[in-house]
């Protein structure tokens, strides 16, 4: 009876954790969707210059205030967040593909696994921001340079995680039985390894978003990222630095908080998804 009671109690706890995670995931996705969808309704007129409304502090008409050219800061911030999302999405997709490909290549032989491990250690030994600046500067900056730089620098940590999962799966009995039955390594990778990697790949990709978005904003702030004509958050913060001493605090406060909010939501989303997939993993940070 005690064993059955423990099983029932464990199942109740599992469903309770998953319900809580589902609620948090739904709220997070709703907030992100609201940010992105609202940016689609921002017309060029709202982003344009209107000198009649210069340097207006936050009010009901302009929630984030206006800048020295009369541009609405709420509209610029929402456009900047959608641009950061686009950059993060493309770079994370490319990084995830590289990580998945390299982790599956470790099944080939030990020499390939050693090469993959060496590449991971090489890229991890160089600070992300330094390597990202070099790549973006070499490619001339802009949207393409930032995306390629982020994609090239953000795959190692995810690859290391997936490689460990691949090695663990490859040592299981059912994989050994499949190999004895004459199944090829490609068949084992597709039917045994890949299905187990997909949840980890999804969680890892979501958790890469905060790093990609923050690094994009950082190099754009330094002048090596997106074009100054674009309403990127990094550009907004860089321009706001010139006017903080005049008391226009809202130019940096609200865009900065909005960027941190998007980063935090993605981090929460990834960790709650991890809880939902494995409620008793113990990694509930």
In DSSP terms, 72 is beta-bridged to: 66
Task: Identify the pLDDT of residue 138.
Answer: 87
Query: Cα–Cα distance between 106 and 97 in angstroms, integer?
Result: 15
CATH code, residues 39-48+62-272 = 1.10.3720.10
Mean pLDDT, rounded, for 272-282: 71
Task: Identify the pLDDT of residue 8.
Answer: 63
- pLDDT over 80 (residue 3): no
Task: Identify the pLDDT of residue 1.
Answer: 47
- pLDDT over 50 (residue 219): yes
Task: Identify the pLDDT of residue 18.
Answer: 74
Q: 102 versus 285: which is more confidently predicted?
A: 102
CA angle 62, 267, 205 (to 5 degrees): 115
Q: What is the DSSP string of 38-102?
A: HHHT--HHHHS--GGGTTPPS-SSSTT-B-TT--BHHHHHHHHHHHHHHHHHHHHHHHHHHHHHH
Mean pLDDT for the chain? 84
Q: Mean pLDDT lowest for which of 156-165, 167-176, 231-240?
A: 167-176
Reported as a single tens digit per residue, the pLDDT across 256-269 is 999 999 999 988 88
Q: Nearest Cα to 27, choosing from 198, 234, 268, 241?
A: 268
Query: Cα–Cα distance between 194 and 210 in angstroms, integer?
Result: 25
Cβ–Cβ < 8 Å for 118, 266: no
Reported as a single tens digit per residue, the pLDDT across 10-28 is 666 667 777 788 888 889 8
């Amino acid at each position: 009876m005690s064993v059955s009671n423990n099983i029932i109690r464990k199942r109740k706890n599992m469903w309770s954790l998953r319900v809580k995670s589902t609620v948090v995931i739904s709220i997070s996705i709703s907030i992100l969707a609201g940010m992105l969808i609202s940016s689609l309704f921002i017309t060029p007129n709202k982003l344009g210059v209107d000198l009649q409304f210069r340097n207006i502090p936050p009010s009901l008409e302009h929630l984030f205030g206006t800048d020295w050219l009369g541009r609405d800061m709420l509209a610029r911030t929402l456009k900047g967040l959608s641009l950061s999302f686009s950059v993060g999405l493309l770079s994370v997709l490319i990084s995830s593909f590289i990580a998945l490909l390299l982790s599956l290549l470790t099944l080939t032989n030990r020499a390939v696994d050693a090469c993959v491990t060496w590449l991971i250690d090489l890229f991890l030994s160089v600070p992300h921001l330094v390597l990202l600046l070099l790549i973006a500067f070499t490619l001339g900056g802009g949207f393409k340079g930032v995306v390629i730089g982020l994609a090239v620098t953000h795959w190692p940590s995810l690859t290391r995680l997936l490689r460990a999962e691949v090695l663990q799966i490859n040592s299981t009995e059912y994989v050994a039985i499949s190999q004895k039955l004459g199944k090829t390594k490609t068949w084992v990778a597709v039917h045994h390894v890949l299905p187990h990697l997909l949840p980890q790949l999804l969680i890892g990709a979501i958790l890469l978003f905060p790093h990609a978005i923050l690094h994009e904003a950082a190099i754009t702030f330094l002048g090596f990222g997106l074009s100054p004509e674009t309403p990127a958050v990094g550009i907004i913060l860089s321009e706001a630095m010139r006017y903080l001493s005049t008391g226009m605090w809202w130019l940096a406060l609200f865009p900065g908080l909005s960027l941190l909010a998007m980063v935090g939501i993605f981090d929460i989303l990834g960790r709650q998804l991890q809880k939902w997939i494995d409620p008793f993993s113990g990694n509930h940070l």
